[in-house]
Amino acid sequence: MLSTSRDQAPSNNRVMVTVRKSTMSPEMEQQVIRVAVNALNHTNQEKDAAHEIKAYFDSHYECRWHCIVGKKFGCYVSHFDTDFIYFYANTVAVLLFRTAEHPDVVLRGSRA
């Protein structure tokens, strides 16, 4: 189920997290937020944070994960039904989603 626009208590008092769209379970959302906040706190560039988030999920879950981190971007992506999240950590947007390796798998479309 797609959920939209809700704030979550930050795991770190310095970061306000606002989930804009998600098809993930609450447990998976918390894991993504934890990994993303950690990456954003110790990297200097958004592309490095995106790489770290993607690498974590590629190594812990199967199939292909994609991550976009930034302050201004638009997108429309295809993804597994339960593997999409778009949220803000303070003023930085994070988009993480998983796609199939095989083109015949039915995916869902979402925009951030």
> What pLDDT, on a 0 to 100 scale, did the predictor assign at position 58?
93
Highest CATH level, class, for 3-111: alpha beta
> What pLDDT, on a 0 to 100 scale, did the predictor assign at position 8?
55
> What pLDDT, on a 0 to 100 scale, did the predictor assign at position 78?
81
> What pLDDT, on a 0 to 100 scale, did the predictor assign at position 52?
97
| Per-domain residue ranges of the chain | 3-111
Residues present in the chain in total: 112
Q: How far apart are CA 38 and CA 76, in angstroms?
A: 26
**Which residues of the chain are modeled with pLDDT < 50?**
1-5, 10, 12
Q: Which tokens is 31 given?
A: 């894991």
